[in-house]
Structure 1
Amino acid sequence: KRIEHSEISKIIGESYFNLQKYKEAIPYLKNYKGKRGKWNNTDYYFLGYAYYKLNDFENAIRNFNKIIGGKNAVTQNAYYHLAECYLKLDKKQEALNAFRNAAHMKYKPTIQKDAWLNYAKLSYEIGNPYKSVPEVLQEYIELYPNSKHKNEINELIISAYITSKDYKGALKYLENKKSAKERTLFQKVAFYRGVELFIEGNYDLAIENFESSLTIPLDAKFTARATFWKGESNYRLNNFIDALADFKKFYSSNEAPKTIEFKTINYNLGYVYFKQKDYNNAITAFKKYTNQNIDDTVKLNDSYLRIGDSYFVSSNYSNAIIYYNKAIKLNGVDSDYAQFQKAISYGLTGNENTKITTLNSFLNTYLKSTYRDDALFVLGNSYIKKNKNNLALENFDKLISNFKRSPLVPKALLKKGLIFYNTNRNEEALANYKSVVKRFPNSDEAKQAVKNARQIYVDLGEVDEYASWVKTLDFVNV
């Protein structure tokens, strides 16, 4: 009788189920004891589906998840509805797995197709642990080439590539696409791929991508930006003529002022002119940049330095000083260089006293500057001009003892020798010359030291001693 009662419950429950009276069906479906006390997959499916239709997703999931190992339409349906339940509870990862299972079963093609669509879209939304998102989306298109969702999925493929910054993959996918929208996307993606390669330092390939972008000038803003970055890539490759052409083209574009690159175009132009030794145009471009409302103090400082350098090499030292001072005031990178160059500029305008003051100020301020050895050497020379030999010697000594690896050491020793020679301190002069020969054999300074020493030996009437010494030097032909 118990078995009969159980079977009757099943019949009543399934009758209500077929009438879509799920609330009434549930108590009877639950009352069924199963064959030999065990439920099969279909029994769990009926109860799970009833709960699902009543929006009791937790109980629906509990029953659908008991359907295991089935290879039939019931299992496929269960996975599909299980996925829907998970979605309702915002458990998207679990929903993705369930849609995937339903999509890989072929018992009901309509369910399979819909599961595939949901699996693809959900992969785009949350990512996919099994394959790359573009791969999953493309698989859907390959399986259902005539789907009414084809255009939507196509857009998701491109978007997936772009949001994951896989510009290389996006370009390959867009290569042969013909619609205006896809061609515009190709233009943008080629640009982004170019920027990516530029950042990696692959400037040749970057230029190729910028040129690909420029072959489809549908979006004027991206055409302008690609032109700028092509110029920047050419600059990095020392193709200054091409870089200048690109930057000028960008500058004259109507869209240029709307781009972020426009802020620095005069700075970029300044450098191209500077590299080509066109100092007048370099000054004009850098000045235009410095006259903008600039929040980038690094580039502002750098522009002042390059204007100063441009004036300096053009022998316009008073203007060079003005711009080196502007850089010094900012106290940014290379302010020591600016101070040093300023001192040299004073000297070249004939203002030796200010040059000396500026060099001493430099040495007191920039204790770790790489220009300290240069400053000591130049200062020593300035003191020689001023007939202040002791101060000259003091600076040369500091250079020789503190900067042993400086290429200026042999030059400083020669200068010391000359001071000693001119003040009739011949033995000290000879000692310095011999030091140059010993420490820096075969150098230009050593050869000069030998000549200077010869003069001293001649003056002292000690030519034989000179000859004996020179025979020990393998770089001098006697």
Structure 2
Amino acid sequence: EVSYLLGSEEFNKGNFDVAEKYFKQSLQFNLNKEFYKKAQYWLGQTYYQKGDYKSAIATYTKLENETAEGFPEREQLDYDLGYAYFKAKDFASAQEYFKEYLRFPKQEFKADAELRLADTYYANNQLNEALEIYNKTENASDYTLYQKSLALGFKGDTVAKITELKTLISKYPNSEYVDDANYEIGTAYAQNDDFNNSNSYFDKVIKSSPDKDLVANSQIYRAQNYIDQDQTDKAIAEFQLLANQYKNTAFAEKIVLASKPAFVKKGDVAGYEQFAKGLNVKVDSSEISEINFNLAQESFSKKDYAKAVSYYEKYLDQSPSGDHLFKSQYELGESYYQLKQIDKAMLPLQNVADFQNDYQQDARVRLAQIYISQD
């Protein structure tokens, strides 16, 4: 009993390591059934507070299996197990325990247990079930509105998501979720191709949020929006500023990845490589080869043969035996042919004509036309 009381005192002070020691000491003596059960229960609580959810679950489960009744905390075990499993990210088990608890809940814990049950549905992508609970919550808290908005977003209802988030901001202007809400509104508007409104909400985050990660993500997203608005130069300029700001940070790689479409849109593969190098981010040679190949295809389809030649030459130089070898050689030869550079056209066309592949026949026909025209 003394060990249990000392453990309780240390637990209330937040000294969980010391509390654990006393509760374990109390459990060595099973002289008083009530204190034995209490020590076991609060040992589980101690594990939970220390983030040792596996031990908390084991302790609660052992106590639940051993005890039908007889101590006040017994009726909270399903609730506690639900939380422990939730923290351990075993959402299916958490769901079952919260459901069980809600059969006979304490009124003061009922609303919280329902919200946690909704959160387990959300975590398991059971969005309709989650929304059913979020929707029936009276006087929804900022947290509930935020979770509801995310669920709506995952269902693809971005308009409803925006509405819920704006309600959150209006109803709880001092909420800890306001910055996240502004960011999520920005992403939702971007999904709807409303880039001006999207950027205005990212601007709010950038100007007012103390959360550096959220600010960085907003800056990156805003720059990406410029690409979608066909403001490629502005996007690249923004990425250059971000590169200076976030060099040698965890965001460097993300900035390089986000900038790629802008450089590709301008056809500036070398610029992309240089940009990545400036941020100390390694870009694999296969990625550069693929960019050159895609740009070559795009140029060829637009009959911009001069650009197609440039990109195909680079691709073949980087990937002389790559997956797109024969297609690249054929379209390189065809591009030279269209540019009336017949001598340069013949070598790649001959390479294609000499081996069985999807472009062999086309290459042979083009070579035959060249030979006939030369006679």
TM-score between both structures, scaled by the size of structure 1: 0.53
Partner of 1:325: 240
Distance 2:6 2:105 in 1: 41
Partner of 1:227: 145
Partner of 1:78: none
Structure 2 residue matching 1:258: 3-state secondary structure: coil
Distance 1:247 1:408 in 2: 51
Tell me which of 432, 440, 457 is aligned to 2:368.
Answer: 457
Q: CA deviation at 1:228?
A: 1.9
Distance 1:257 1:412 in 2: 62
Distance 2:60 2:256 in 1: 57
Distance 1:376 1:433 in 2: 20
Amino acid at match of 2:95: K
Tell me which of 100, 123, 141 is aligned to 2:40.
Answer: 123
Tell me which of 110, 118, 122 is aligned to 1:183.
Answer: 110
Gaps of 5+ in 1: 1-83, 103-114, 142-151, 348-354, 466-478
Mapped contact 2:146–2:168 kept (Cα < 8 A): yes
Mapped contact 2:41–2:59 kept (Cα < 8 A): no
Amino acid at match of 1:203: N
Structure 1 residue matching 2:34: 3-state secondary structure: helix
The yes-or-no answer on 1:164 pairing with 2:94 is: no
Tell me which of 168, 184, 203 is aligned to 2:125.
Answer: 203
**Residues 252 and 374 (structure 1 numbering): CA distance in 2 closer, same or farther, change over 3 Å?**
farther
Mapped contact 1:120–1:136 kept (Cα < 8 A): no
Distance 1:356 1:176 in 2: 62
Alignment RMSD (CA, Å): 4.7
Partner of 1:310: 225
Q: CA deviation at 1:425?
A: 3.1
Distance 1:237 1:155 in 2: 36
Correspondences of 1:11-410 after superposition (within 5 Å): 84=1, 92-93=23-24, 95-96=26-27, 98-99=29-30, 115-127=32-44, 131-134=61-64, 138-140=68-70, 152-153=72-73, 156-157=76-77, 160-161=80-81, 164-165=84-85, 167-168=94-95, 170-177=97-104, 180-191=107-118, 193-194=120-121, 198=123, 202-204=124-126, 208-209=129-130, 211-217=132-138, 220=140, 223-254=141-172, 257-259=174-176, 261-297=177-213, 299-329=214-244, 330-331=246-247, 332-337=252-257, 340-344=260-264, 358=271, 361-362=274-275, 368-369=283-284, 371-373=287-289, 376=292, 378=295, 396-403=312-319, 404-405=321-322, 410=327
Mapped contact 2:353–2:364 kept (Cα < 8 A): no
Amino acid at match of 2:318: N
TM-score between both structures, scaled by the size of structure 2: 0.65
Deviations 1:317-346 (A, max 9, x none): 343333333343334124444554444565
**Residues 93 and 191 (structure 1 numbering): CA distance in 2 closer, same or farther, change over 3 Å?**
same
Gaps of 5+ in 2: 8-21, 45-57, 87-93
Amino acid at match of 1:208: E
Mapped contact 1:373–1:408 kept (Cα < 8 A): no
**Residues 341 and 169 (structure 1 numbering): CA distance in 2 closer, same or farther, change over 3 Å?**
closer
Mapped contact 1:321–1:345 kept (Cα < 8 A): no
Structure 2 residue matching 1:139: 3-state secondary structure: coil
Distance 1:117 1:228 in 2: 42
Distance 1:363 1:185 in 2: 47
Identity over aligned pairs, percent: 13
Q: CA deviation at 1:121?
A: 1.8
Mapped contact 1:175–1:186 kept (Cα < 8 A): yes
Structure 1 residue matching 2:193: 3-state secondary structure: coil
**Bigger radius of gyration among the two:** 1
Deviations 1:42-79 (A, max 9, x none): xxxxxxxxxxxxxxxxxxxxxxxxxxxxxxxxxxxxxx
Amino acid at match of 1:229: Q
Distance 1:338 1:163 in 2: 37
Deviations 1:368-410 (A, max 9, x none): 246422554559999xxxx997x98676334114234465973
Q: CA deviation at 1:87?
A: 5.9
Partner of 1:415: 332
Mapped contact 2:82–2:98 kept (Cα < 8 A): no
Distance 1:372 1:246 in 2: 42
Mapped contact 1:270–1:284 kept (Cα < 8 A): yes
Count residues with an aligned counterpart.
Answer: 327
